[in-house]
Amino acid sequence: MKSFLTKHFILITLTIVTLGSVRFCVLMHRREIGSTLNTVEKICKNGKLRLITSKAVNTYYIYNNKPTGFEYDLAREFARFMNVELDIITPGWSSMFTYLKQGKGDFIAAGLSITAPRLEYLDFSIPYMTVQQRIIHHNLIFTPKDIKDMAFKIFHVRRGTSYHDRLGEIKALGVNLKYVLHNNTPTEELIAMVHDREITFTIADSNIALLNRRFFPDIRIGIPIQERESLAWAVRKNDSEMLKQVNKFFLYATNTGILKRITARYYGNIDNFDAYDLKKFHERIETRLPKYKNIIKEESAKYGFDWRLIAAIVYQESHFDPDAKSSTNVRGLMQVTQTTAKEMGIKNRRDPQQSVRAGIKYLSLMYKRFDYMEDKSQRLLFALASYNVGYGHVKDAMRLAKEKGYDPTTWKGLKATLPLLSKAKYYKQTKYGYARGWEPVRYVERIQTYFDILKQKKAAMTG
């Protein structure tokens, strides 16, 4: 009997269980030797989850030699959920579906919308976002007012996308539009071509359009050409166990707030800027930033800050103007007060190097005050808020967050309670009193946007 079992059965890894905060693949079922492992079993056996994605600002890209991007961050949480390593596979948009079919990856996370043609050869997870296809054009170009106005216009889109499918549907309705198909040109590059007036029209999902408006302020997001669509992850057709595992993760990510946190990180404040503000920022990156770039890089390195983050703070504080002065008598590139200047050991707030040195040193002190926070990105947001409104007011807001049931160590909690410091009902109960608490929220979110732009801006990245 023993030899029979040895010959005909083996124990295999099948699923994920949770004990406290630890998730791991466990031996559960017996299976006959020679039978085929399903995708989830292979992932558990190999200890690797293979993500198929595309390189784009809304999916996955490398910054400072580290991977980042919305889809990447979400997939990384999925790998943690399964307690396995994450492998990234970027075969190019046109090859993603072939790679999945051939088993060269386990799932696709690339901002895919659920469409009828794709449902014929893919299975989709629970949706995580809704978007809408929009016409993208330059602000100097007349925009179509409805679909009929698209007649005789030329649209540039990537082959095999939902945009390609939709333009074909509109043409079939009798609208005599034209379109040029690009094989390997990402949507964000087509948006850049619209911005530079190399082409007139392209199509983009609303989330991609809003993200890229940060980098290309002269584009306009025109009329929708499709009803709202859902974005989801894709698995191989009839790969039921993998689909079940992906859906388990999305339910987990929704219930724990992971999905909301990652969505807010990338999309939380994308529509807070008008075109004029963004255009001015891009102009001043070219005309003013170069004068102070070396100073910012030198001083940032001393304290381990990304120089682009500090540049974003400098712009928010002074628009790269060393003579800037506020109504409250803060001065210089980083708008340092006289008291702070003295504490940080500088004498001339209008001297660019001294101002940047004092500002970074002060930011570093604020950052260290939150060193009990494990999440460094959260620590940084708290430090930025403290730089703007003061550490005491931030502590008051954290206490309010705790009283109201928010996690006081997350930006979500702080963002909800900082504005309450302007209301007598709340600030009378605090140690440091009244504060215009909406200002640090706006301050932090604008710096995040400027930082994102600088990370992507080629001119700023040089050197």
Residue 317 is among the residues annotated as catalytic for this protein: yes
CA distance linking residue 71 with residue 232, whole number of Å: 10
Q: Which of 41, 77, 229, 317 is catalytic?
A: 317
Burial 349-366 (b: 16+ CB within 10 A, else e): bebbbbbbbbbbbbbebb
**Angle subtended at Cα 108 by Cα 106 and Cα 111, rounded to the nearest 5 degrees:** 165
CA distance linking residue 394 with residue 168, whole number of Å: 53
Taking Cα atoms as reference points, which of 431, 436, 389, 398 lies closest to residue 416?
398
User: Would you list the DSSP string of 69-107?
Assistant: -HHHHHHHHHHHHHTSEEEEE---HHHHHHHHHTTS-SE
First to last CA, the chain: 70
- Dihedral over alpha carbons 28, 30, 36, 38 (to 10 degrees): -20
In this structure, the number of other CB atoms found within 10 A of the CB of residue 338 comes to 11
Tokens representing 385 are 């808020």
C-alpha torsion sign, points 171, 177, 181, 187: negative
CA distance linking residue 370 with residue 374, whole number of Å: 9
- The one-letter code for the residue type at 93 is W
- The one-letter code for the residue type at 398 is M
H or E stretch covering 442: helix 438-456
CA distance linking residue 91 with residue 51, whole number of Å: 11
Taking Cα atoms as reference points, which of 206, 266, 218, 188 lies closest to residue 445?
266
Q: What residues are annotated to the active site? A: 317
